[in-house]
Amino acid sequence: MGIKQYKPYTPTRRFTKLSDFSELTTSKPFKSLTKGKKRINGRNNLGRITVRHRGAGVKRAFRIIDFARDKWNVPGTVETVEYDPNRTSRICLVKYADGARRYILAPENLNVGDSIIAGDNVPLTPGNCSTLRNIPEGTPIHNVEIMPGRMRGQMVRSAGTSAVIKAKEGNYAFVELPSKELRKFHLNCKATIGIVSNSDHSNIVLGKAGRSRWMGRRPKVRGVAMNAVDHPHGGGRGKQKGYKMPVSPTGVPAKGVKTRSKNKYSDQWIVRKRKKRGKK
């Protein structure tokens, strides 16, 4: 994988940086593992917009990903490495020994023809899955379960990310997440070994507004550029900041004001909170 740059024959092309997709081996998904994806365009069940700046975009097919990795002790072989428009990482199609095929998140350094397996005693190679009990400290992992046996892998699934097991004590493992948050996980929680693929995703520059529209992102207008009837930041003669703190169009505090309720059940699993932006 790599980043592709273009000759600057237009102002847009000068700054555009896109993936070269050199790691992909096919352009069409496995049809039986896809389904239609209904667009909600940021609206809730009442049809009201709850998430702004969403809508339109290129039609997508949803790929059914196996986050649970419940094919235990059944070896599989990687058949293809594919693009998924619904996530930042690449996915790969795995054919198991019993004939079943499933999509999984593609880790780095996993190629077509490689063998993977999920089980208790597996080699520490990218793509293999096991419980935290059987993975040694210092091993990069992703697709980590939160509750053992009850849920599929939910954490550390974005492109280029990985978590690290720092220590084990009793029935729990202390895992450092990509945000530098230190969190406790039960040793029976499953995780996949390796770093999520497409680590160059953070270097992509879309280059033009049209490419954002293809992805379903509509234009954003600053609140201070609106009229007072449309936004709490609007109005005023000329440019002026006539508000005490930034808020959303509905008056909810924004930009750093804490809105999370305290005494959450999940707080007991957090050993060290994540670092704030701009602070070391």
What confidence score (pLDDT) does residue 15 get?
Answer: 92
What confidence score (pLDDT) does residue 142 get?
Answer: 95
Angstrom distance (rounded) from CA 52 to CA 87 = 20
Domains defined along the chain, listed by start: 3-201 (2.40.50.140)
Is the pTM here over 0.75, yes or no?
yes
What confidence score (pLDDT) does residue 156 get?
Answer: 94
Question: What average pLDDT values come out for the chain (280 residues) when binned by 10 residues?
Answer: 89 92 92 91 92 91 94 93 94 94 94 92 92 93 90 91 94 94 94 94 93 94 91 86 84 80 78 70
CA distances from 212 to 61, 141, 159, 218 (A): 18, 31, 19, 7
What confidence score (pLDDT) does residue 280 get?
Answer: 52
What confidence score (pLDDT) does residue 263 get?
Answer: 64
Strand partners, 183: 175, 270
- Structure token digits, residue 72: 């235990």
For the chain, the distance separating the N- and C-terminal CA atoms, rounded to the nearest angstrom, is 31
CA distances from 64 to 84, 204, 215, 239 (A): 10, 25, 20, 49
